[in-house]
Amino acid sequence: MAMRLHHAVLLSAALAASAIADPAKSPGPGANALSAFFGSWAGSWKDGPKNGPRGTMTIGQTEEGRALLVYSFDTPKRRTLSSPDRVYGQSLATLADDGSLRATLSNNARVVYRLAEHGMLVGEYVRDDVRYEGRFERTENP
């Protein structure tokens, strides 16, 4: 009897384990919301009426179910590739409960992106006492 109970427990555990989806193979409930951000984007950040950094970014999927941002933003003062104020790199982003995509850039700025009407991507950039609002247009779908 003990042996049958042991086999029943093992069988139940095996069936339960096989019913658990592999997250890499089956997307979770936020996968569609996350994939809506995927693609290439171009636009600029603004500080009220003043122009801020222009930039481009590509947002893609990672194996962890997060997004990878590959980005490059310049400054309005010096628009050169070697500018020390130029921010470029890649960061992992997560989909927040409110549907926004959030990341920390290489300069420790925190960014929050939201999808807006007409396919625009709007964002907020905060670093120390600097705050920008951004608008980006999709340049390429994934």
pLDDT, one tens digit per residue, over 116-126 is 988 899 999 99
pLDDT, tens only, 41-69: 999 988 888 877 889 999 999 888 899 99
pLDDT score of 20? 33
Q: What is the CATH number of domain 30-140?
A: 2.40.128.20
- Predicted local distance difference test score (pLDDT) of residue 48: 81
HSE, side-chain direction, 13 A CA sphere, residue 81: 0
Query: Structural domain boundaries of the chain?
Result: 30-140
Q: Which string of b and e fits 20-38 if b means at least 16 CB within 10 Å?
A: eeeeeeeeeeeeeebbebe
